[in-house]
C-alpha cells in the first residue's frame, strides 16, 4: 500500500515524498487508518519501524483539515515522551512532515531556561511535545491551556507508564478533557502495563507487529564472555576493526560512563558522553557530534536507549549488561534501523551471566557466543593501579592491624588489676 492510499492532506504527502518515503512500514500501514478513524490505539512494534510517523502523520492531517491559517491557535495535540532528546526529535519530525502546513509546534522539557518555551505557548501552538516534569510545573502555574485538546499520545508508553512515571501521567491526564483520542506507542508493552494503559483509553484498538519485546530482525546479536577487568581492553580491540565506524556504547551508570570515556580518550578514540548529569547543551552537542561523524563513539546511559533515531549506527555495545531485558531490546534498536543492518555486542563478565540467561528466556533466543582471536582472556587482575605502591584498602588494613597489635601487646604486658577485698563472711554457707 503506498502512502497515497491513506488520503493524507496534499502538503503532508509532498513532505513525505521529499523525505524519500514511498511505502509505509507495517506499523504505519496498520496504525494510520485506525488513528484517522478516531480510534484510541495501543501500538506495539519493534524499534526502528517508524512508529513516530504512525501517529504524527494522521495528527497533522486532522489539524490540516480543521484548522486553517485564520483559525485561532490553541493546543489540540499533546505528545508525552520520557526523555528530552526524544521530545526534541519528535518535534523535528513534526516540523519536517508539516513543513507545508500552517501548524505550530513547541517542545516543553527541563534542563534549559523556560522563558522561550513559555513565549512559544503565549504566541499559540497547535502541538505540544513534552516531558512530564516541566509540563507539570507549567500546569501548576496555570501557564498552559488544554481545554480544547483533541489528542493525547504517549510515546514509549511502557516507560511512561512505569510506576516511576505513573503519578506524573495521572496528574497530567487529570487536566485534559475526558473526550479525547489517546494513542500509546511502544516497542515493548507488558500485560500489566497494558492494563494501566486502558485506564486512559476508551475501547482501544490494538496493533501488534511481530512478537512482543522481540529484537529487530535487522540486528545481528552476539556475546563476548570476558572478565570485568578486561572489558576496556576488549572494547578497544573491537574499535580498532575497520567496520566499527559509528558505535553507541551503553554504560549502566553515569560514573561508569565517565570512567569509560576517559579510558577511550587516553587510547586516542574520538568519543563523547551523554548522561543525566550533563547539561542540556552538552547532551545536544554530544548527539550532534555523533550524528555528524565528529566522534566515533558515543558513551551513554539508558536515556538514549528509547526512540532516539541516529542514522548509520553500525554497532551498539552493551559495555554494562542491562538488568531489565526490555532495556536490552530498546538499546540494540538504535542500530539496524529503517531496514539497515546493524550489530549488537554484549560484553558479559561471569557475574552477569544470570542476566544474560534471563534475557535469552525473555526473547526466546540464545545469543551467539564469540571469542576474539588473539585476545588474552586470562590476564590476572592487577594488584596495584598504575602509579600506586599499594591499593588504599591494603594500607587501611595494615594500619588497623598495627593498631590491633599495639593494643594486644599493651594488654599482655600490663600488670593484673588488683582484686577487690572480699566482704567478711561472703563465702560462708547459709544455715
Counting the structural domains of the chain, the total is 2
Tell me which residue range forms the domain holding 304.
Answer: 219-370
Domain edge (last residue) among 353, 370, 387:
370
Element at 347 (helix H, strand E): strand 342-348
* Per-residue pLDDT at 160: 77
Residue 229 included in any domain:
yes
Handedness of CA 118, 119, 121, 126 (dihedral sign): negative
Cβ-proximal residues to 176 (8 Å cutoff; 6+ apart), any chain: 78, 146, 149, 152
Do both 236 and 204 map to the same domain? no
Do both 123 and 250 map to the same domain? no
* Per-residue pLDDT at 116: 92
d(CA 292, CA 19): 19
Residue 108, strand partner residues = 130
d(CA 183, CA 46): 17
Do both 349 and 258 map to the same domain? yes
* Per-residue pLDDT at 159: 75
Domain edge (last residue) among 370, 393, 412:
370
* Per-residue pLDDT at 126: 95
pLDDT in tens, the chain (431 residues): 778 889 899 999 999 988 888 889 999 999 999 999 999 999 988 767 788 999 999 999 999 988 654 566 799 999 999 888 899 999 999 999 999 999 999 999 988 889 999 999 999 999 999 999 999 999 999 999 999 999 999 998 877 776 578 889 999 999 999 999 999 998 777 766 777 777 899 999 999 887 666 677 789 999 999 999 999 999 999 999 989 999 999 999 999 999 999 999 999 999 999 998 888 889 889 989 998 999 999 999 988 877 677 888 999 999 999 998 888 988 998 888 766 789 999 999 999 999 999 999 998 999 999 999 999 999 998 765 554 444 444 445 455 555 655 555 555 555 455 555 555 554 444 43
Residue 393 included in any domain:
no
Do both 200 and 223 map to the same domain? no
Residue 386 included in any domain:
no
Whole-model pTM? 0.71
Q: Are 169 and 160 in contact (CB under 8 A)?
A: yes
C-alpha cell at position 44: 506495539
DSSP 416: P
Residue 401 included in any domain:
no
Residue 131 included in any domain:
yes
Classify residue 291 as exposed, middle or buried by CB count within 10 Å of its CB (0-12, 13-18, 19+). Answer: middle
Residue 213 included in any domain:
no
CA angle in degrees (0–180, nearest 5) for 4-312-275: 110
Residue 319 included in any domain:
yes
Do both 183 and 229 map to the same domain? no
φ/ψ of residue 83, rounded to 5 = -130, 155
* Per-residue pLDDT at 96: 94
d(CA 67, CA 75): 11
CATH of the domain at 11: 3.40.50.300
φ/ψ of residue 326, rounded to 5 = -65, -30
C-alpha cell at position 394: 591494603
d(CA 323, CA 354): 10
* Per-residue pLDDT at 163: 56
C-alpha cell at position 343: 550489530
Domain edge (last residue) among 320, 341, 370:
370
Do both 182 and 243 map to the same domain? no
Amino acid at each position: 500500500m503506498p502512502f497515497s492510499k491513506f488520503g493524507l492532506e496534499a502538503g503532508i504527502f509532498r513532505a513525505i515524498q521529499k523525505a524519500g518515503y514511498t511505502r509505509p512500514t507495517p506499523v504505519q500501514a496498520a496504525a494510520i487508518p485506525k488513528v484517522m478513524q478516531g480510534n484510541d490505539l495501543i501500538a506495539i512494534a519493534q524499534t526502528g519501524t517508524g512508529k513516530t510517523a504512525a501517529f504524527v502523520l494522521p495528527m497533522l492531517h486532522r489539524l490540516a483539515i480543521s484548522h486553517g491559517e485564520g483559525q485561532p491557535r490553541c493546543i489540540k495535540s499533546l505528545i508525552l515522551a520520557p526523555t528530552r532528546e526524544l521530545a526534541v526529535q519528535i518535534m523535528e519530525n513534526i516540523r519536517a512532515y508539516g513543513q507545508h502546513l500552517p501548524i505550530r509546534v513547541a517542545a516543553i522539557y527541563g534542563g534549559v531556561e523556560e522563558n522561550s518555551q513559555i513565549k512559544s505557548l503565549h504566541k499559540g501552538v497547535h502541538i505540544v511535545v513534552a516531558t512530564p516534569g516541566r509540563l507539570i510545573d507549567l500546569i501548576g502555574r496555570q501557564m498552559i491551556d488544554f481545554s480544547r485538546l483533541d489528542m493525547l499520545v504517549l510515546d514509549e508508553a511502557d516507560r511512561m507508564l512505569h510506576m516511576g512515571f505513573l503519578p506524573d501521567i495521572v496528574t497530567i491526564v487529570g487536566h485534559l478533557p475526558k473526550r479525547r483520542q489517546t494513542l500509546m506507542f511502544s516497542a515493548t508493552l507488558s500485560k500489566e502495563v497494558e492494563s494501566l494503559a486502558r485506564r486512559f483509553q476508551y475501547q482501544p484498538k490494538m496493533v501488534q507487529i511481530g512478537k512482543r519485546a522481540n529484537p529487530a530482525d535487522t540486528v545481528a546479536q552476539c556475546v563476548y564472555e570476558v572478565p570485568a577487568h578486561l572489558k576496556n581492553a576488549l572494547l578497544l580491540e573491537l574499535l580498532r576493526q575497520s567496520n566499527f565506524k559509528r558505535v553507541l556504547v551503553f554504560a549502566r551508570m553515569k560514573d561508569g560512563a565517565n570512567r569509560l570515556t576517559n579510558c577511550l580518550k587516553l587510547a586516542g578514540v574520538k568519543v563523547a558522553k551523554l548522561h543525566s548529569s550533563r547539561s542540556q547543551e552538552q547532551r545536544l552537542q554530544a548527539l550532534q557530534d555523533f550524528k555528524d561523524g565528529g566522534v566515533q563513539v558515543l558513551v551513554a546511559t539508558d536515556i538514549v536507549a528509547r526512540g532516539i533515531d541516529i542514522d548509520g549506527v553500525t554497532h551498539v555495545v552493551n559495555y554494562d549488561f542491562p538488568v531489565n531485558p526490555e532495556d536490552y531490546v530498546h538499546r540494540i534498536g538504535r542500530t539496524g534501523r529503517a531496514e539497515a543492518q546493524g550489530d549488537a555486542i554484549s560484553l558479559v563478565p561471569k557475574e552477569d551471566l544470570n542476566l544474560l540467561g534471563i534475557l535469552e528466556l525473555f526473547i526466546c533466543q540464545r545469543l551467539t557466543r564469540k571469542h576474539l582471536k588473539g585476545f588474552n582472556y586470562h590476564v590476572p587482575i592487577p594488584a596495584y593501579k598504575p602509579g600506586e605502591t599499594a591499593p588504599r584498602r591494603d594500607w587501611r588494613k595494615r594500619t588497623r592491624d598495627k593498631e590491633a597489635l599495639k593494643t594486644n601487646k599493651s594488654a599482655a604486658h600490663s600488670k593484673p588489676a588488683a582484686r577487690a577485698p572480699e566482704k567478711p563472711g561472703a563465702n560462708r554457707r547459709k544455715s
